[in-house]
Amino acid sequence: MDRRGLLFVLSSPSGAGKSTLSRMLLAADAGITLSVSATTRPPRAGEVDGQDYHFVSVERYAEMVSGGDFLEYATVFGNRYGTPRAPVEAALREGRDVLFDIDWQGAQQLHQAAERDVVRVFILPPSIAELEHRLRARGTDDEVVIEARMERARAEISHWDNYDYVLVNDEVAACFAQVQTILAAERLKRARQTGLVAFTRGLMG
């Protein structure tokens, strides 16, 4: 049965688990691919251009914004990020699903641009104390950055009601199972089954 692809958004405050869940989903499900964002930030150790991000200059980023080349874009901690439009729209037409690891601003813009194709899932930490513990356990940020991330986390959590589904990531395996259940159900929605009309007409003769 032919179907139209969907845009599957995972958002969470930093440290709540969206990147871990995204990696698990990509490893477990061959039917979904990660949307590769463009960014003006420099590559981190081990990151590959075109695979982790499309690393672009500030000037090129501005050209892409003005040319309408992004489905969504935002500035996070002084760096600019955006989702290139063309590969995402091609995936939808071909019945392929695309995963987005983006914040609430990006999710909102994506929903405005492609409402019928977007499924938004927000991941909450079990508590603010646990979120701070996870950020500190990374050992990658100094105190100033951690405080900034905590402040931003509280602001992001306030947008939980803009999402279609809200999950609490207390135990990652259980949360991942819920994510998989949501994706499976959304793939089966009648509106996405582009071959269904012809199929049912054939059944009725």
Q: What is the CATH number of the domain that holds 160?
A: 3.40.50.300
User: In this structure, are residues 68 and 85 in contact, taking their beta carbons and an 8 Å threshold?
Assistant: yes
The angle, 0 to 180 degrees and rounded to 10, between the axes of the packed helices 128-138 and 143-157 is: 140
Rg, C-alpha atoms of the chain? 18
Tally the domains of the chain. 1
pLDDT above 90 covers a percentage of the chain that reads 80
CA-CA-CA-CA torsion for 103, 105, 110, 111, nearest 10 degrees? 110
pTM (2 decimals)?
Answer: 0.86
Q: Encode pLDDT of 45-78 as tens digits.
A: 899 999 889 999 999 999 999 999 999 998 887 8
Provide the pLDDT for residue 138: 81
What does the mean pLDDT of the chain come to? 93
Q: Which domain holds residue 101?
A: 7-35+97-204
* Mean of pLDDT values over 115-142: 91
Question: For residue 139, is pLDDT > 80?
Answer: no
Would residue 57 count as lying in a domain? no
CA atoms of 150 and 131, how far apart (whole Å): 8
Would residue 52 count as lying in a domain? no
| Token duo for residue 30 | 């061959």
